[in-house]
Amino acid sequence: MWYSLNMEFEYFREVAIPTFKSQRALVEWMLQVARPSHKPSINANEFIYEFGIPRISSHIFQLRKEGWVIDNLSKHGKSAEYLLIRTNQEVDQEVDNRQSLLQ
C-alpha cells in the first residue's frame, strides 16, 4: 500500500510531501523536515488529525528503540510535542567519530 497520507496537504513546513510506502516512512520524513524549519517540533495532533497517523506514539516508541533521539516537549496534561534531536544514523556516526578520536 502506498501512503499519500497528506490528505489535502501538498506541503509540510514548506517542503513538498513525497509519496511513501508506510506511515513509518512518512513520520521519519516529517521529523527530519521539521528539525531545520521555523517550527522544529511536531504536535501529536498534527500527526493524527492532519496527516492521518493515529498511532504516532507507537511509531515514536519504535524509532527510539532503534536509536533515534526524540524529545517530548509537552507539558503535563498537554498533547505530545515531538522534537527530533538525532536519527539513529547520526548517533552511530557520532559514536564512530568519538571512537576514532580515541585511537
What is residue 2's predicted lDDT score, i.e. its pLDDT? Answer: 43
pLDDT along the chain (103 residues), means of 10: 55 91 95 96 94 94 97 88 96 82 74
Phi, psi (degrees; rounded to nearest 5) at 22: -150, 160
Q: Give dist(CA 37, CA 57) in Å, integer.
A: 22
Q: Minimal CA–CA distance to 5: which of 60, 21, 37?
A: 21
Q: What domains are there in the chain, each with its CATH number?
A: 11-102 (1.10.10)
For the entire predicted model, the pTM comes to 0.85
What is residue 8's predicted lDDT score, i.e. its pLDDT? Answer: 62
CB atoms within 10 A of CB 66: 10
Q: How far is CA 59 from the centre of its chain?
A: 9
Length of the chain equals 103
The dihedral through the CA atoms of 8, 54, 49, 72 has a sign that is negative
